[in-house]
Amino acid sequence: MPQIIDTTVQVELSADGDPRAFVWDRFEHVVIGQPQAVFTRTRWWENNGTPTRIDTELWRVDAARGGEDQHRYDLRHDADGTWVLALDWG
Amino acid sequence: MSFPHLHVASAYSTHYGVTLPEALAEQAAADGATFLAVTDRDGLYGAVKHVRACVAAGISPGLGADLEVHDDDTLAPLGRVVVLAHGGSAGQGNTGQGNAGQRNAGQSSGGRGYAALCRAVSSAHETTARLPGHPPSIPRRRLAQLAGLDSLTVLLGPASDVGHAVERRDNPRARANLVEWQRIMPPHSLALEVVCHLTEPGMPGSVAPATRMLALAEYARLPAVLSNAVRYGTADEAVTADLADAARNLTPLAQLAGPQLAGPQGAGPQHSQTEAGPLQVNGQAWLKPAAAMRQVARMVVDAGQHSDGALARLLRDTHDLADRCALDPIGDIGLGRPRMPEASVIGVTRDPLAELWARARHGIDERYADAGRHGLTAAHDRLAHEMATVESLGFAGYFLTVAAVADIVRGMGIRIQARGSGVGSVLNYALHTSSVEPIGNGLLWERFLSPERQTLPDIDLDVESARRHDIYRKVFETFGASRVSLMSMTNAYRGRGAVRDAGLALGMPDTQVAAIAKQMWRFNARDFRAALAEKPELEELATEVRESAQLDLLVDLTARLDRLPRHISVHPCGVILSDASLLDRTPVQASGMGLPMSQFDKHDMDPMGLIKLDILGVRMQSAMAHAVEEHHRLTGEHIDLDRVPLDDQATFELIRSTRTLGIFQIESPGQMELVGKLQPEVFNDLTVEISLFRPGPMQNNMPLRYLEAGHGEVAPDYIHPRFEPILRETNGVVIFHEQVMRLFDELTGCGLGHADVLRRHLGRPEQLSVIEAYVREHALGRGFDAGTIGRVWTVLAGFGSFGFAKAHGAAFALPTYQSAWLKTHHPAAFLAGLLTHDPGMWPKDLLVAEARVLGVPVLGLDVQRSALDYRVESVGDGQGIRMPLPELSGSSDAERARIVRHQPFTSLQDFRDRVHPRRRTFEALARVGALDSFIDHDRTRRHELLAHIQSLRGTAITIADDQLAFEVPLPVLDYEGPRFDAVTSLQLRGRTQSDLELLDTGLAVSGHRMRKYYPLFAELGVTPASQLATLPGGTDVLLAGVRRATNTPPMRDGRRVVFVSLDDGTGPVANVVFFHDAQERIGGGVFQTELMLVRGRTRRSGARGVSVTGEGMWDLVTVARDRARAQAKAARADGAAGVNTAAAAAAAARPLRRAAGSGTTEFDLWSTQSA
């Protein structure tokens, strides 16, 4: 079962624009391999105002803290530019 | 590093793509791209705009189409593919300009890819024409054939049959489908398209099928290219694409998206992301920049097992294909190179230029035979001048072509009249393309064509509206379908459509959306929010919007849809003529009338070098043709309207009398008034009149200035003696484009060609200072003083863009004169034409009233005589017009055709036997009197006739034309004896013949509706409309009549003025003006009351112009009823006390007469006409 984290994190991007590392709980987690992005549609017509995006940007990354075992995480990139660590899949 | 997008739908993929080509090209260029393809769905709808946008943005255009493909034999669908045109060696060949007969697009390598693409799109639409209901789809073998010779690349992506199998993880099927494609398509014409929209795993557009597609390409040793199957420029436009999905599916978004957020296991869309499925899975189909596309590529490659270098190979293959598909706008597409039909097609065997010279010289000799030696020489000089331009531009073929079309139309016996700036050409006049003499009318060639003019010439041909389609078919037949196509037009979203589709997407109730749509006018949908804030009439809606989040959203979404292309349809008059390479340069599809229609619209014509001819149906031409035909039928005489002398005094007298109802261009109340002021005496006066009656001149008071100088009240101001020849014809007022051009030329010596360029730039404020500097500099050198230059510049700058080409005015003036001539000399035939073709602004009732005033009775329906259109009949010494059968409401074409076929009838039974009318038609005919010939035209016996017809009983039988009729015995009745007096039909009782006519035909012809009020009018002292012109200005009058028109023209001070045209049956309409204060006093009646009595004061404008300023108004029906009661009361009192009845009635009338005043004379017209 994934663990819900839901906290804002600092994300460092590579020159290509992929998440390279993020800082969570003061520790840097380094992304391993090619992270995958997923965009999920919203039912925007049920909310107030016209959206600038109709989908939510989610990055599924494998990352490790120092020499520890790698975990799979979901990083959400919100429309306002903030990154949220949504899930820790273990 | 840039990324070339190969699969992009523009907004011209209606209800699918949502970004205009210009925005896409700019965005791509800003991202550093050097190439951008547009591949619209089912066509090249946005292709020309895309190519021009790419040229403007400095990038290479690619063109393709997103097409459905099917198996040739089984018709089984093979999904959608992207067909991309290959570029040739740029600029090779094709240097000849306008060289008719040259056909090279299909032969040199330049343009071959584009030609094949055009043919492929047309082929897809042929399927629809052949199999009605089938969507556009190209047979695969046809596609393979077109892709030969390295012309096309076909991208098999997620929407193809291969992609579908890949999506289903059905590897064997995917491979088998691909093998089939490889077997049929020529070598090197296939590539696999990898699309990944980063949707959730398991959904279409996710990374897994994309990586499997890449693997399939590796397995099959085919190139794989990356695309984003783009539907919009930026990510935030995904919202608009959602709206497009809802509109395309006619389904609200909530319903399209399913009950919950569609997860991998949810009820997600069944279609692939790039197919036009219900709703896009997410919002990633935007024109992503290079970095984002490479990111996608990395994810796709990383998600599968691929050989080393797969990422680099994918991107390289994409770039390589883009290089192959980069089109040269000139070499490949032929941008800007005009192509005329081959000379041989129009029967020219020698050099077109020599042929044109010969025909033109001959034409000049013929046209100017009576012009004297000087006139003839002048015409030949002008011809030489025009021909020099024609030769240098290589347009000889064009003029021959247009003349050939004009000949075709005339050869069909159809009236034709050129319109537009082409009328200014003596060449067109000599070729009989135009019938207006240009030199004497002061028309300029340079307004039409000059080396300085960058656009293709444009000649518009007005033809009889009723024959327009016949002409199109004949033109197709003559030139061949490979050279002719109709033009299309793009219909874009406007306010109401936008709010409806936005409301649909949000799932709002129809009634609510309709109520809002009703208020969407007089502003652009994109300014909806601003309009809500500013416009008082939208206050209520604005409040609702503030309170409802959904309405607030609706406002935004409506603005997003505004101006987006919605659908294409056939243009009302554009016909494209070209050489045999036409179908290599434009795709065609079937139009509503069956003839092929280009996918390009009028904005695409000039860039594509396509010659467009406007063949416009004009009802007045049909009406005049009808008149000429009727005259011929009755008298055997043939009138050649185009040879009627243009100085007939009786015709001008009619025009000056302002009885212009029915005359082309000058029949509106405003025109009647202006004609009354200007009092035209010669043809040129008509040209001036028509040119003055336009918003710009009217608002700038130009008619008044023209008049004052004309009447000698002020001296005409020519500013400088050297301008007098230019401005004399308009009394010093600058009215025409041609005058502006001449002024520029006189001031600067720039030549008329350049003068026209300057003239057109006057409409651009940012150009004014440049032109002014140019004028000042040159005019000083040409001997004008600074004061003169300053004054003339003020006039020129103020002229702006609102002037009118004299060529247009003169072209309009000709049918104006011709129709006036017909009305003067052949009123019956002319009115029959007007009633049949209904060309003008007035209702038929008024035309009938006008006919009656002109002494031409309109005769009622009669099954013995009525035809299918209005016909002239001899009546006594004069002529009448017979009402035609189609005016009977509810009768069928088949019934009418049978009546006409079997006329005349010997008896009622004979009529029944041969016509077999339906009961409803039979009864209506009896009611309205069309069967009166069977009862000796004795109206009183109609009750009996109707009763008899109504009593008929029988079994319904089917007869020819699937018509129901009754098989009953129908004895020839003995209509005699007292028993018939006992029969009264309730449908007839108490109804006048006019009432019955209005009931069954909507048009009263036997008498004027107002006639029953004439005794009342006489009593009240109402002035007949026909006598209004005899009264001096400032006379108090009473007017009465039925409202025929209401106009609210915009006025300079912004206050609304209401013009009401009243018809009392005595003559032309009386025009009553209600100013602001009167409107306030009268209220809604100004717009609502149909039959009215008006108190007002005459207002004279010019010699014959008269209108009435309305001061008070009553409902005529109420006035009549009240007076009838008063009279009845008076009569009772009379009986009791012996008081004079007339005195009492006069007393009742007093409140109204008080205002009538001494100026009102008694008119005996009422008593004579009411007799």
Q: Which of A 6-25 lie inside 8 A of B, CB atoms?
A: 16-18
How far is it, in rounded angstroms, from Cα B627 to Cα B823?
10
Query: Which of A55, A57, A77 is the best mutation test for B, with the most CBs of B within 10 A?
Result: A55
The per-residue b/e assignment along B1114-1128, b for 16 or more CB within 10 angstroms, e otherwise, is: bebeebbeebeeebe
With CA atoms as reference, the chain B residue closest to A45 would be B506
Three-state SS at B609: coil
How far is it, in rounded angstroms, from Cα B571 to Cα B165?
42
pLDDT, position B916: 83
Count the Cβ atoms, other than its own, within 10 Å of residue B617. Answer: 17
User: Using an 8 Å Cβ cutoff, are B934 and B911 in contact?
Assistant: yes
pLDDT, position B285: 95
pLDDT, position B266: 38
Residues of B in contact with A54 (CB under 8 A): 238-239, 242, 282-283
Sequence-ordered strand ranges (E) for A1-90: 3-13, 19-24, 27-41, 55-65, 71-77, 83-88
- H helix runs in B523-635, sequence order: 528-534, 539-547, 549-561, 582-585, 602-605, 619-635
| Interface touch A38/B262, C-beta < 8 Å | no
With CA atoms as reference, the chain A residue closest to B256 would be A43
| Interface touch A53/B201, C-beta < 8 Å | no
- A74-78's contacts with Cβ under 8 Å and 24+ in sequence apart are A74/A2, A75/A9, A75/A11, A75/A19, A75/A22, A77/A11
The residues near B450 (Cβ < 8 Å, ≥ 6 apart) are: B389, B752, B753, B754, B756
Chain A: closest CA distance from residue B260 (Å): 9
Give kind and range of the element (H or E) at residue B768: helix B768-781
Does domain B21-325 bear CATH number 3.20.20.140?
yes
pLDDT, position B701: 75
Pick from B218, B167, B228, B230: nearest CA to B192: B218
- B694-697's contacts with Cβ under 8 Å and 24+ in sequence apart are B694/B802, B694/B804, B695/B802, B695/B1050, B696/B800, B696/B802, B696/B803, B697/B735, B697/B802, B697/B804
How far is it, in rounded angstroms, from Cα B794 to Cα B717?
14
Pick from A21, A50, A31, A71: nearest CA to B529: A50
Chain A: closest CA distance from residue B240 (Å): 10
Chain B contact residues (CB < 8 Å to A): 197-201, 206-207, 235-236, 238-239, 242, 253-254, 257, 261-262, 280-284, 291-292, 294-295, 298-299, 302-303, 505-506, 549, 552-553, 556-557, 560
How far is it, in rounded angstroms, from Cα B1121 to Cα B1100?
33
The residue type at B998: L
Give chain B's mean pLDDT. 85
Chain B: closest CA distance from residue A47 (Å): 8
- Hey, what are B475's tokens? 């033109």
With CA atoms as reference, the chain A residue closest to B505 would be A45
For A50, the closest of B197, B261, B557 (CB atoms) is: B557
Tell me the Ramachandran region of residue B472: left when phi exceeds 0, alpha when psi lies from -120 to 50, beta otherwise: alpha
For B295, the closest of A18, A50, A52 (CB atoms) is: A18
With CA atoms as reference, the chain B residue closest to A57 would be B198
Q: C-alpha angle B274/B277/B282, rounded to 5°?
A: 65
| Interface touch B291/A17, C-beta < 8 Å | yes
- Hey, what are B26's tokens? 């700019």
DSSP B228-244: --B-BSSGGGHHHHHHH
Nearest 10 degrees: Cα torsion B970, B975, B979, B984: 80
pLDDT, position B472: 92
Residues of B in contact with A18 (CB under 8 A): 295, 298
Pick from B590, B610, B592: nearest CA to B600: B610
* Domain of residue A25, residue span: 3-88
Chain A: closest CA distance from residue B535 (Å): 23
Tell me, letter by letter, the H, E, C secondary structure of B665-687. CCCCHHHHHHHHHHCCCCHHHHH
User: Using an 8 Å Cβ cutoff, are A87 and A2 in contact?
Assistant: yes
| Interface touch A55/B238, C-beta < 8 Å | yes
Name residue A7's beta-bridge partners: A85
Residues of B in contact with A43 (CB under 8 A): 253-254, 257, 261
How far is it, in rounded angstroms, from Cα B644 to Cα B192?
70
User: Using an 8 Å Cβ cutoff, are B717 and B839 in contact?
Assistant: no
The residues near B476 (Cβ < 8 Å, ≥ 6 apart) are: B484, B595
| Interface touch A55/B282, C-beta < 8 Å | yes
Residues of B in contact with A45 (CB under 8 A): 242, 253-254, 505-506, 553
With CA atoms as reference, the chain B residue closest to A41 would be B282
Chain A: closest CA distance from residue B558 (Å): 11
The residue type at B174: A
pLDDT below 50 — which residues of chain B? 90-108, 261-276, 962, 964-965, 969-972, 1139, 1150-1151, 1153-1161, 1169-1171
Pick from B743, B714, B703: nearest CA to B727: B743
User: Using an 8 Å Cβ cutoff, are B771 and B762 in contact?
Assistant: yes
* Residue B91 φ/ψ, nearest 5 degrees: 75, 5
DSSP B994-1057: HHHHHHHHS---SS-GGGGGHHHHHHHTPPPGGGGGGSPTT-EEEEEEEEEEEE----TTS---
- Hey, what are B623's tokens? 């009406």
With CA atoms as reference, the chain B residue closest to A35 would be B299
Residue contacts between A and B (CB atoms, under 8 Å)? 87
Q: What is the ipTM of this complex?
A: 0.94
Count the Cβ atoms, other than its own, within 10 Å of residue B141. Answer: 13
**Fold exhibited by the domain B494-563:** Arc Repressor Mutant, subunit A (1.10.10)
Q: C-alpha angle B165/B324/B53, rounded to 5°?
A: 100
pLDDT, position B1134: 67
- H helix runs in B929-978, sequence order: 942-951
* Residue B62 φ/ψ, nearest 5 degrees: -120, 150
The CATH code for residues B1009-1170 is 2.40.50.140
* Residue B541 φ/ψ, nearest 5 degrees: -65, -40
With CA atoms as reference, the chain B residue closest to A59 would be B198
Q: Measured between CB atoms, does A48 come within 8 Å of chain B?
A: yes
Query: Which of B236, B300, B504, B508 is the best mutation test for A, with the most CBs of A within 10 A?
Result: B236
Chain A: closest CA distance from residue B215 (Å): 18
User: Using an 8 Å Cβ cutoff, are B478 and B551 in contact?
Assistant: no
DSSP summary character for residue B730: G
For B261, the closest of A34, A37, A41 (CB atoms) is: A41
Pick from B458, B456, B429, B455: nearest CA to B441: B429
Chain B: closest CA distance from residue A81 (Å): 15
Q: Are strands A27-41 and A19-24 parallel, antiparallel or unpaired?
A: antiparallel
Residues of B in contact with A35 (CB under 8 A): 299
How many domains would you assign to chain A? 1
Domain ranges in chain B are 21-325, 343-490+569-620, 494-563, 621-817, 882-1001, 1009-1170
Chain A: closest CA distance from residue B299 (Å): 6
Residues of A in contact with B236 (CB under 8 A): 51-53
